[in-house]
Chains A and B, each alone.
Chain A
């Protein structure tokens, strides 16, 4: 695993949202899901979501395609996203590291 293969906090958040949403993952639903996941802890902008998704696509963790245009979006098409096997593995690894950190802190009584 190279240095660029590690996931940042925001990237982990996006990939988790994609895993939750499955087939219905496009810009707005991802944004809403991330706001739920990071409720009150950080501000999520749609632009940041898209640029991070582009970066994740370059890394091979995500694939994207354009759907059909709908009336409720003013005739504009949706861009759907799907997490790849590589991406799921990266999320599992990141969550494992987070779990290890939590249990390490619990051992010394750092977390209630």
Chain B
């Protein structure tokens, strides 16, 4: 069993600057931030290293950090420019009984994160959901389609903070 600092040190030794920070002042599990374009390699290491042995991805979630600047257009509609979207990976080692949360932050306008689908198979649908709700592109994902919204949904990504619901979808009125 390893605590968060030990896990952070092991990762830091292996990957150096791609491991960005360790945040322990959270009411939840400690969070290690890593580079979104190296998360596949790091995940593979987390899973295969004997001292870490993270054999279970408990959850993978997208988050809209909404830390950009709010811009109002001519119609008074607000949108967010800049800032980041994040993906959180909640990992658990059933064998060694320790947990950690990995976080990647990616720019809102060009949200790209490496897929970890071939490290933890369950990431497949979780990543599709994060793509569906936030528009985060998971590179090398085998089947990156919408999973909950209709396949022909063109109004954007519903859980983004600046999302606007459309008036009509296929001739059906959407607002109340």
Do A and B assemble together? no
List residues of A whose CB falls within 8 A of some B CB. none
Taking Cβ atoms with an 8 Å cutoff, the residues of B that contact A are: none
